[in-house]
A and B are shown apart, each in its own frame.
Chain A
Amino acid sequence: MFGFHYNLERSAIGMVVGIVLVASIGGFIEIAPLFTIDETVEAAPDMRVYTPLEVAGRNIYIREGCYACHSQMIRTLRDEVDRYGPYSLAVESQYDHPMLWGSKRTGPDLARLGNKYSDAWHTAHLNNPRDLVPQSKMPAYSWLLRDQLKTDDLGDHLAALRTVGVPYTDEMIANASMDAFAQANPDSSAATDVAARYGEATNIRLFDGTAERLTEMDALVAYLQVLGNLTDAAHQPQTQEAE
């Protein structure tokens, strides 16, 4: 073996080919089957897609780096299920490009945050967390209420998401900007269209409490309120019990 290597290390190409081959095996065996084995992702016929407003909110969540301190992945451990709710299923992040499972909990897990608190609570909390939780270490995101949400290119965002596999229809893409506005304005005439396109369970509310402007706060709160509510799959009786 060492005699073989004595010759191998005299060839640059030999080393290059060796490194690439040896390093590729692990990833190939662990990752490729995840795309082909059906049980990897559970079936959930009721799975909804994010609305344009929720997509915009998710992008704000990414922009501000919320994933650095909040996970969205409840592990199959008793204390996590007791604290946060049913453990996360793969199907729940099926349309998450990219996934936001996170790796650190400086703050609590958010996988089942949706509709746990009121919109007013979220708006006040994001504006200054220490107004509601005095010991909180979360930054104050006061600019979210000041900044108008950019909606004109949301159709392009939905189209890009469709390219990578999210089942948005042409109608959803064409009406993306209007739907984003309407979801945060329940009294507007287009609000019923949002429910028709994205499902009756869609939250159509004045997320930041004001109708006049569509703010970044509207989008982020809309996203936070749908976390864990895209499908009921995790609340069904589960075959595998928490350890």
Chain B
Amino acid sequence: MIADLTRAERLRAMIILGVLTATGLAMAVAGRDDLLGIHGWVVAAAGLFGFFAVAGKRDLPEPDPERLNHYYDGPTRVGIVLTLIWGVIGMGVGFWVATLLAFPEFTFDAAWASFGRLRPVHTSGVIFGFGGNALIATSFHVLQRTTRARLPDQLSPWFVLLGYNLFCVLAASGYLMGLTQSKEYAEPEWYADIWLVIVWVVYFAIYLRTLARRKEPHIYVANWYYMAFILVVAILHIVNNLAVPVSLGSAKSYSLFSGVQDAMTQWWYGHNAVAFFLTAGFLGMMYYYMPKRAERPIFSYRLSIISFWGITFMYMWAGSHHLHYTALPHWVQTLGMAFSVVLLVPSWASAGNALMTLNGAWHKVRDDAVLRFMALAAIFYGLTTFEGSFMAIRAVNSLSHYTDWTVGHVHAGALGWVAMITFGSIYALTPWMWKRPRLYSAKLVEVHFWLALAGTVVYVFAMWNSGVIQGLMWRTYTESGTLEYSFIESLVAMHPYYIARAFGGLLFLLGAIVAAYNVFMTIRMPAPADEAATPDLPAQPVPVAGE
């Protein structure tokens, strides 16, 4: 990776890593009486390690100018590996917290091992670690292929990928120590948030700089989604994380907003983290890898336009459906409900566009488990968005809210849609990136497919059952007009479903481990002799219907 950098870039890398080290040391000194100090040492260690790694190789010869005839895929390759590592960690912790809900004694009297601290490690691990790395890795790949332009330089993609992973490490280690803002899916504290903004600006700049040098007049639809993901996540992240630190030597901060305004901002963020991180970004993935793998053009250019702008516009209104019947003013709840229902139109336009793309390639879906992952993802995307619109209706929400039904809905989307499209894309991408003729084992992909599907179905059905039972028990009255069940009775009724859920999660985790093994064995396969002989540029653009 360092040999790829030009000498000027190596110097720039050393300056950046030097500044990072100094910042870490400053945090360590300022926060010596606080947990901030520990994170200061983590940052300083990361900076120092990087600095010496680059310094040790700074005198390597300049990279071959011939490289400019090729796409730059080094960051994508590392990103794929990081995706799989975070996937196994995040899903492993998910299985662990699911087990804790069934058997709460397994906290072992250790604060870091209690449910409340481990749960964000699971959510951030899978959303940001697994999902985020997958988005960064695939976006660099898709961006270059669809613009027929190489990334603008060799340094900034590494800065984005590794800087982002430093953010993930700060987040996960912080939760274990008890550092959290308590804002769901935005738990990291102020200094980690600022670091993510810096990384994100560079990420966006890579996009604009590459697009500026594109050899295709049109920007392909996958890039619209990746750009919406980068831009809107930046807006959401900055607004939702506005906070005042206790001091520059303290990790703790207090959010700028309070009460009802804070709740609305948080769920405006929270629901659009689902929309622009877990939907828009992964739709970008789907719009490239599914047509490539199926060797079919996208069914409809016009549907793509309608669904893209529909999703971009309407999702931002939907967050208030998380706050039905609360102290949030009624008019905001009603707006959120209305837009959530209408949102089904662009969502199903996307899902339909994906499935219609497979018309004429269904025999491939039958034979090729990689494509089947993507097809299943599109189906789950359609199912989950339908369920989401349904649950946003106030009367339905009165039953489903606060229960496991919500958890089941989230996992139908996260396991069925996000993880399936990611695994499908990674399986397609890995042989291309390492220039191998095929994956190590198609059989293992088949095994993974059925583990993933079975795990998702078990998980979601368990949570649907427990959620509906829970919601009904809470609202059941006796004939004399008193509540029929105590709270603890509803909790006891959940126990078998919590065991089933942990089992479903375990199946899904096993699938992820199989995937990691398969990809690593593919990387270890011998490369064909004529590797890298032909330049990538110009490559064939993905055909777009309507052009």
A positions within 8 Å CB-CB of B: 2, 5-6, 9-10, 12, 15-16, 18-20, 22-27, 29-31, 34-35, 37, 39-41, 59, 62-69, 71, 73, 75-77, 79-80, 82-83, 87-108, 129-130, 133, 135-143, 153, 156-157, 160-161, 163-166, 243
CB-based contact A95/B258 at 8 Å: yes
Interface residues of B in 93-141 (CB under 8 A from A): 100-102, 104-105, 107, 109, 111, 114-117, 119-120
Knowing A69-B115, A73-B327 touch, does A83 contact B483 (C-beta < 8 A)?
Answer: yes
CB-based contact A164/B256 at 8 Å: yes
Determine which residue in B217, B218, B227, B327 has the highest number of CB atoms from chain A within 10 A of its CB, and name it.
B327
Q: A64-B111, A166-B258 provided; 10 other pairs, C-beta below 8 A?
A: A12-B208, A25-B313, A30-B268, A40-B329, A62-B181, A73-B327, A77-B475, A94-B258, A129-B104, A136-B104
Q: Pick the contact of A79 from B178, B243, B474 — CB < 8 Å?
A: B474
Knowing A10-B219, A83-B474 touch, does A135 contact B325 (C-beta < 8 A)?
Answer: no
CB-based contact A20/B231 at 8 Å: yes
Knowing A82-B483, A104-B406, A160-B245 touch, does A137 contact B111 (C-beta < 8 A)?
Answer: no
B positions within 8 Å CB-CB of A: 100-102, 104-105, 107, 109, 111, 114-117, 119-120, 175, 178-184, 207-208, 211-212, 217-219, 224, 227-228, 231-232, 235, 239, 243-247, 250, 252-266, 268, 276, 301-302, 305, 309, 312-320, 322-329, 332, 335-336, 339, 398, 401-403, 406-407, 474-475, 477, 482-483, 487-488, 491-492, 498
Determine which residue in A27, A29, A89, A93 has the highest number of CB atoms from chain B within 10 A of its CB, and name it.
A27
Knowing A66-B116, A139-B107 touch, does A30 contact B317 (C-beta < 8 A)?
Answer: yes
Q: Pick the contact of B268 from A27, A93, A130 — CB < 8 Å?
A: A27
CB-based contact B260/A93 at 8 Å: yes
Q: Which residues of B contact A82 (CB under 8 A)?
A: 482-483
CB-based contact A88/B327 at 8 Å: yes
Q: Which residues of A contact B246 (CB under 8 A)?
A: 153, 156-157, 160
Q: How far is the CA of A39 from the CA of B312 in the complex (A)?
A: 30
Q: How far is the CA of A69 from the CA of B120 in the complex (A)?
A: 12
Return 21 A-B CB contacts under 8 Å, by A number.
A15-B227, A19-B232, A20-B232, A25-B316, A26-B314, A26-B317, A29-B335, A40-B329, A63-B180, A65-B180, A69-B115, A73-B326, A75-B324, A83-B487, A96-B258, A103-B406, A106-B101, A160-B246, A160-B247, A160-B253, A164-B256
Q: Pick the contact of B407 from A24, A59, A65, A104 — CB < 8 Å?
A: A104
Chain B nearest CB, measured from A21 CB (Å): 10
For B216, the closest partner residue in chain A by CB is A10
CB-based contact B260/A34 at 8 Å: yes
Chain A nearest CB, measured from B237 CB (Å): 13
CB-based contact B326/A101 at 8 Å: yes
Determine which residue in A82, A83, A137 has the highest number of CB atoms from chain B within 10 A of its CB, and name it.
A137
**Which secondary structure dominates where chain B touches chain A?**
helix
Q: How far is the CA of A89 from the CA of B263 in the complex (A)?
A: 13
Q: How far is the CA of A107 from the CA of B492 in the complex (A)?
A: 11
CB-based contact B254/A97 at 8 Å: yes
CB-based contact A64/B218 at 8 Å: no
Knowing A2-B302, A93-B258 touch, does A105 contact B402 (C-beta < 8 A)?
Answer: yes
Q: How far is the CA of A82 from the CA of B480 in the complex (A)?
A: 13
Q: How far is the CA of A12 from the CA of B211 in the complex (A)?
A: 7
CB-based contact B329/A103 at 8 Å: no
CB-based contact B109/A24 at 8 Å: no
CB-based contact A140/B109 at 8 Å: yes
Q: Which residues of B contact A156 (CB under 8 A)?
A: 246-247, 250
Q: Which residues of A contact B491 (CB under 8 A)?
A: 106-107, 135-137
CB-based contact B316/A24 at 8 Å: yes
Q: How far is the CA of A153 from the CA of B250 in the complex (A)?
A: 9
Q: Pick the contact of A69 from B116, B219, B255, B301 — CB < 8 Å?
A: B116
Q: How far is the CA of A203 from the CA of B243 in the complex (A)?
A: 29
CB-based contact B104/A31 at 8 Å: no
Q: Which residues of A contact B117 (CB under 8 A)?
A: 63-65
Q: How far is the CA of A18 from the CA of B309 in the complex (A)?
A: 9
Determine which residue in A34, A67, A89 has the highest number of CB atoms from chain B within 10 A of its CB, and name it.
A34
Q: Pick the contact of A98 from B100, B116, B181 — CB < 8 Å?
A: B181
The 5 closest A-B pairs by CB, nearest first: A65-B116, A26-B316, A75-B325, A26-B317, A93-B259
For A100, the closest partner residue in chain B by CB is B182
CB-based contact A164/B492 at 8 Å: no
For B119, the closest partner residue in chain A by CB is A68
Q: Which residues of B contact A77 (CB under 8 A)?
A: 325, 398, 475
Q: How far is the CA of A71 from the CA of B487 in the complex (A)?
A: 13
CB-based contact A12/B212 at 8 Å: yes
Determine which residue in B180, B263, B301 has the highest number of CB atoms from chain A within 10 A of its CB, and name it.
B263
